Amino acid sequence: MANLSHNLDLTKPEDQKELFAHLASRALQLDQAALQYALSVLTEDWFQLPAGLDICSLKVGSKHSEAVWLTTWVQVIQGVHDFRHHKNFDTQIHRLRIPSHEKLDTALVLLVARRYLQRGFSVVFEPFGEGSTDLLISCQTYRLYIEIKRENPREHRRLLRMQEIGNLVNGGVDVALRDWLQQHELRLEVRISKLFSNPHAQTFVEEICASAMRIAVGVETELGSVSGSKLIVLPKAAEFFYRKGLHAGVVRVEVAGTPVPIFAPASSPIRCTFGLESNLKALGKRIREAGKQLARDLKRDAQASGFVVLECMFGGEEQVVDAIQKRFWSRLPERSWGVTLVSPRNWVIPRSDLSAAQVELLSYAAIDPPTKSSMEDRLA
């Protein structure tokens, strides 16, 4: 699948043309009118797409940016157009413009709202004004308030520590083995089982370097200096060996001026992978806040029910589901249907007395409705 040939600035008509060709190759649908409308109301960072990557990097602070995948970007841009006449949507546009994490929080709210809109639900943003639940969705049968909480990477201290250790290990191994790996057209991957101190990183690097030069290519080996950690040396173009977890790697540009696909194995001669766990303390705090907000709005509307949508993008999904059921369920109000977990695998954690139709309704918060093209593919 082809990547973008150069950085796109979507304020330029020629770059818009290339974008739509790229989206067609990815079977992603975006209306031309939606892009033009978004250009008139969103900030410049929404319209800069880097070559070789299916992401958009958004400003979330004076010195910080976070990336959203192209699929998410398309849904947000289309959603801005789809909801442009909805009550209170000007507030959502404002939040998508400001350089803070609220921009990404709002993008998640918009994704969830659009999934229900596409399925025929009526959608209201912040039904009781600023400070109320994120959404009210309704159909002939149900009225449901939804409070949505995104997982903030800055709450995930273990994640930040992984990045620090990954940089230390990658840098040390790169200095020692760069020429050797290049000469033999090899690369290596390290699976790191647990965190350790900065001083111990040097011991770990020394073991990696000594082991890499003596083990057989393609044979995984245990590393003793950090118990449970493993190493494998692979041919340069071989597929990634460790796929799940947080990855931190050295990316090499061998020919100046030549585009480099960052996520391709051949571009990453050294890569560390960490197993991921959820920050349960932060999770519990998000559920408590969501439960309180949901309870306030349900008190105002005796005929309604509600539920919570939580994002879980940093691993440990089973751990999160177990914690919600056993530790945090009491933080939800009485008329809550449960929790929908937006994650790589997506989960619904329903109240025990819900019908199959109600459980399916909960699942809509995490799953895009099938498109016409996907339905045709299924029937072919």
In a domain, 28, yes or no: no
Tell me the residue length of the chain.
380
For residue 270, is it within any domain? yes
Residue with tokens 């020692």: 176
Q: What is the pLDDT of residue 157?
A: 62
Phi then psi dihedrals of residue 191, to 5 deg: -100, 115
> What is the reported pLDDT for 151?
83
Would 249 be classed as within a structural domain? Answer: yes
| Residue 222 main-chain phi, psi, to 5 deg | -80, 150
User: Tell me, what's the pLDDT at 262?
Assistant: 57
164 domain residue, yes or no: yes
Distance CA 365, CA 98 (A): 25
Question: What DSSP letter does each residue of 233-291 carry, written as one string?
Answer: EEETTSPPS--SSEEEEE----STT----TTSGGG-SEEEEE-----HHHHHHHHHHHH
Asked whether residue 199 is assigned to any structural domain, the reply reads yes
Residue 188 lies in a domain: yes
Tokens of 374: 């996907």
Range of the structural domain that residue 215 is part of: 157-274
- Please give the tally of structural domains in the chain: 1
Distance CA 255, CA 182 (A): 13
224 in any annotated domain: yes
DSSP, collapsed to helix, strand or coil, labels residue 81 as helix
In this prediction, residue 277 carries a pLDDT of 66
Coil vs helix vs strand at 322: helix
What parts of the chain have a pLDDT lower than 50? 1, 373-380
Q: Is residue 92 part of a domain?
A: no
Please check whether residue 298 is in contact with residue 310, taking contact to mean a CB–CB distance below 8 angstroms. no
